[in-house]
């Protein structure tokens, strides 16, 4: 049977029942958290959905790995490095980051920057 994690966001904070954000821990990330919404715990065999939030002045790690990403911006403003180019993004923007392309998500505003990120199950 499928699983529902109900949205419980309030006053600009995003959350889901039964899910808790974790610190986005890498040597190069700063001020970011990650919440695994769909993945191994839900027994999803092919993909994972994560909600990542970056505080003002923060960023995710600078990554380059084989798997691709599908991303939808849900709040705030950001700058995303994809390959050699950095682009500005905001609410509703959708990005595709190909596998093996260098990438980093950086908060470009004074409020939290949050996005959904879909990846293959690792």
Residue listed under structure tokens 């260098």: 102
Of these residues, 76, 117, 120, 121, which one is catalytic? 117
Q: Strand, coil or helix: what is 98?
A: coil
Closest CA to 81 of 56, 66, 57, 64: 64
Determine whether 17 is an active site residue.
no
Rounded Cα distance between 47 and 26, Å, is 22
| Catalytic sites, residue numbers | 117
């Amino acid at each position: 049977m499928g699983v529902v994690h109900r949205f419980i966001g309030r006053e600009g904070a995003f959350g889901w029942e039964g899910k808790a954000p974790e610190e986005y821990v890498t040597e190069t990330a700063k001020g970011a958290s990650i919440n695994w919404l769909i993945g191994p715990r839900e027994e999803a065999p092919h993909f994972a959905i994560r909600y990542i939030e970056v505080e003002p002045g923060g960023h995710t790690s600078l990554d380059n790995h084989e798997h691709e990403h599908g991303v939808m911006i849900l709040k705030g403003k950001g700058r995303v490095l994809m390959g050699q180019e950095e682009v500005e993004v905001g609410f509703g923007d959708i990005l595709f980051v190909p596998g093996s392309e260098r990438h980093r998500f950086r908060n470009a505003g004074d409020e939290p920057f949050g996005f959904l990120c879909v990846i293959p199950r690792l």
